Amino acid sequence: MRYLKFKTGDCIYENSLSTLDHIKDWKLEGQAKYSINDKRLLLENELDPDIHGDNAHWVLWCPINFPDKIAIEWEFYPIQEPGLCMLFFAANGKEGEDIFDPSLPERSGKYPQYHSGALNALHLSYFRHKHASERAFRTCNLRKSYGFHLVAQGADPLPPVEDAISPYSMKVVKYEGFVQFSINGLPVLEWEDQGEAYGTMLEGGRIGFRQMAPMKAAYANLKVYKVIKQE
C-alpha cells in the first residue's frame, strides 16, 4: 500500500469525553443512552432494535465545523456486540449548507438519510460486526456520499469484543483528496479522491459518531489536529 506521510501540527480541538458535560453541546440524531464509565463516554441505543428496527440506530455530532487538512484521533473501546461503529467526516449539505441548517430535512439516525439524503459526507465504518457476513470476513469500509459509493476497503484488525484489549487508537487523516485510516499506528486504508467519479472533492465540515444497535462502545480523548503533507 502506498501510504503518504503527514506531519501533525497544532491541536485545534480536544475533548477528553470524560464527563457528560463534555458533550452538552453535541447534537444527537436518533435516540441513545449516555453514561460515563471510568472517565470514558459510554454510548448505546435507547430503542430495542428487535422492536424498532433501523430506528434504533443513531448519530452523535460534534458541534465544531472543521476545516480541511486535519487528523482526527480518538480512543475506542468495543464493549458489546453485535453492532457497527462509524465515523462521519467532511459532512456538509449537498449545496454547501451547514448540516444543521434548518432548511435541511430532519434526520433521525436511519442510514439512508445520510448517504442518499441532503448531505455530502465521507463515512468510515471501522467495527463492522452487525451481521454474520461482516463478522465472517471483517473489513473497514470507506464510503462517499451523496450516494452509497464504496471507495476503499481495508482488512479490519479489531477482534471480537471478548478478545479486545482496549483502548484502540483510531486515526483518520483528511487532506484535500487524501483519506487515511489507521488503528494503533497500523495502516488500514488510504484513498485519493480525484473529484470526478463520485462528485466533487469534499473539504471541511462536521464529524460525528454513529452506532448501529445493539452495539455498546466507549470513547475517549478525541483530538483534531492540523496536518501538513511531507514531501
Rounded to whole angstroms, the Cα distance separating 36 from 19 reads: 6
Residue 216 CB neighbour total at 10 angstroms: 18
Judge contact between 123 and 143, C-beta under 8 A: yes
Tell me: cis bond preceding 167? Omega within 30 of 0 counts.
yes
> In CATH, which of 3.40.50.2300, 2.60.120.200, 3.40.50.300, 3.40.630.30 is domain 16-65+79-166+194-221?
2.60.120.200
Per-domain boundaries in the chain? 16-65+79-166+194-221
pLDDT digits (tens, 9 = 90+) for 13-28: 999 999 999 999 999 9
Structure pTM? 0.96
Per-residue pLDDT in tens (0 to 9) along the chain, 231 residues: 567 899 999 999 999 999 999 999 999 999 999 999 999 999 999 999 999 999 999 999 999 999 999 999 999 999 999 999 999 999 999 999 999 999 999 999 999 999 999 999 999 999 999 999 999 999 999 999 999 999 999 999 999 999 999 999 999 999 999 999 999 999 999 999 999 989 999 999 999 999 999 999 999 999 999 999 987
- Alpha carbons within 13 angstroms on the beta-carbon side of residue 137 total 2
pLDDT digits (tens, 9 = 90+) for 162-174: 999 999 999 999 9
